[in-house]
Amino acid sequence: MVIISIIPARGGSKRIPKKNIKLLAGRPLIAYTIKASLGSKLISNTIVSTDDEEIADIAKKNGAEVIMRPKELAKDDSPTEQAMIHVIELLQKQGYKVDYVVLLQPTSPLRGTDIIDKGINLVLESDIDSVLSVCEIQNYYLTGYFAEDYYKIEYDKRPFSHAMPKKYRENGAMYITKKDILIKNKNRLGGKIKAIVMNEIDSIDVDNEEDFRLVEKIISNLKNNNILDKERLKKIKLLISDVDGVMTDGGMYYSESGEELKKFNTRDGMGIQLLRECGIKIAIVTKENTSIVERRAKKLKVDEIFQGIEDKLIVLEKLKNKYGLDYSEIAYIGDDIHDLECMKSVGFAACPADALDIVKMNAHYISKFTGGHGAVRDVCELIVTSKI
């Protein structure tokens, strides 16, 4: 089977001029996708389709082949499939055989070779015709109705998270199609289709300046994780964690009797136990005030618990002084705006994958796990491993 990848990169980006070659953490955006494609032993040719000479030059310098695209196939409303078919027809005229086409958008720089190979193997080892990449939708959609000038949420009709059916969205990072299907349907998908699930962070699509800043932060985290963060982590003697959106999924649940419920993760609890065994203090600081959190903290043998806290920085200072610590010896896990000041102050700041973008930008480490689904365990393991 002959498998080629096509990376479409026209020069007429409107929101960010020359977006495809804009520097991201010191490298052109398109370079990340070229590298991921070249890393696959299953792909015979990595081809950039572009109408722009500067993009073509940078693509070649990063190891890709280039096929120049006619201007009429590089308009704002030109379907990507037209560029794909143009590449295939040109290769066939030159005597090349193509069986499968892998479409890789350059705006997905965190998509790695592993997911590409996983998708290709899925096609080759089954009777399907197309594969696309997706990621799970983390949002909860509330039901309700408009009452006069406000929207009334029907929390009593909100299902438990474990009872909600999983939903996925197309993330645009990868499409794999049989060449004959693409030519016949003029569509990147057709026939029997399956999906490959990617995590939320690797699914980020770079579309604006905020996306660039966020992905630069993530890439910086990945680069520094083995050096800078290990040095930071070795110093940690106290971990402070928020609750809602960190130790829980942030959902608000109510029983039929109106009792408030929260869903915690057993793995996170084991992570906290690992910290205690290493002699690291643990504190919970939350804006909410419920007996549920108090019971959970007691079960986990948490050293300090502060509820109903509006200014968490005051508590941070109090704990620092109580244990005679330097800020560099404190770690903090948060997910929302009220965690920002603490995160900016401590030696190691972490957040779940679904934290607010501004929180991610101020974190030393962004977990690939979401709140309530292993993010705390992930951070705890990082700290414990650094001590070994």
Q: Is the pLDDT of residue 226 over 60?
A: no
State the chain's mean pLDDT as an integer: 87
Kindly tell me if the per-residue pLDDT of 150 is higher than 50.
yes
**Distance, CA of 213 to CA of 193 (rounded, Å):** 34
* 352 neighbors 371 (Cβ within 8 angstroms): yes
Cα of first residue to Cα of last residue in the chain, in angstroms, is 47
Closest CA to 37 of 109, 89, 90: 109
The pLDDT of residue 155 is 58
- Higher local confidence (pLDDT), 316 or 264: 316
Identify which has the larger pLDDT, 373 or 145: 373
Round to whole Å and give the CA distance between 116 and 109.
13
370-376 average pLDDT score? 90
Q: Residue 160: its pLDDT value, please?
A: 59
For residue 164, is pLDDT > 80?
Answer: no
What are the residue boundaries of the structural domains of the chain, listed by start?
A: 3-136+166-198, 225-387
Please spell the DSSP secondary structure of 101-154, one letter per residue.
EEE--TT-TT--HHHHHHHHHHHHTSS-SEEEEEEE----PPPEEEETTEEEE-
CA distance 311 to 313: 5
CB neighbours of 325 closer than 8 A, spacing ≥ 6?
A: 237, 238, 319
Contacts of 161 (CB under 8 A, 6+ apart): 140, 249, 251, 253, 263
Locate all alpha helices (DSSP H) within 302-365, ordered by sequence.
Answer: 312-322, 340-345, 357-361
Residue 196: its pLDDT value, please?
Answer: 94
Q: What is the pLDDT of residue 27?
A: 87
Confidence of residue 51 (pLDDT cuts 50, 70, 90): very high
pLDDT in tens, 135-147: 988 666 566 666 6
Mean pLDDT across the stretch 353-366?
Answer: 85
- Rounded to an integer, what is the distance from CA 87 to the centroid of its chain? 31
> Is it true that 3-136+166-198 and 225-387 share their CATH fold?
no
Arithmetic mean of pLDDT, 340-351: 92
Residue with tokens 């009792």: 259
| CATH class of segment(s) 3-136+166-198 | alpha beta
Least confident residue range of 82-86, 232-236, 314-318: 232-236
pTM above 0.85, yes or no: no
For the chain, what percent of residues have pLDDT higher than 70? 87
DSSP 232-263: HHHT--EEEE-STTTTB-S--EE-TT--EE--
What lies within 8 Å, CB to CB, of 386 at 6+ separation is: 230, 233, 234, 236
Tens-place pLDDT, residues 166-224: 788 999 999 999 999 999 999 999 999 999 999 888 999 998 999 998 898 888 766 55
The burial of 123, by beta-carbon neighbours within 10 Å (0-12 exposed, 13-18 middle, 19 or more buried), is given as: buried
**If pLDDT is split at 50, 70 and 90, which confidence band does 258 have?**
low
Question: Is the pLDDT reported for residue 228 higher than 80?
Answer: no
Q: Which residue has the tokens 């409303």?
A: 77
In CATH terms, the fold of domain 225-387 is: Rossmann fold (3.40.50)
In the predicted model, is pLDDT for residue 227 greater than 50? no
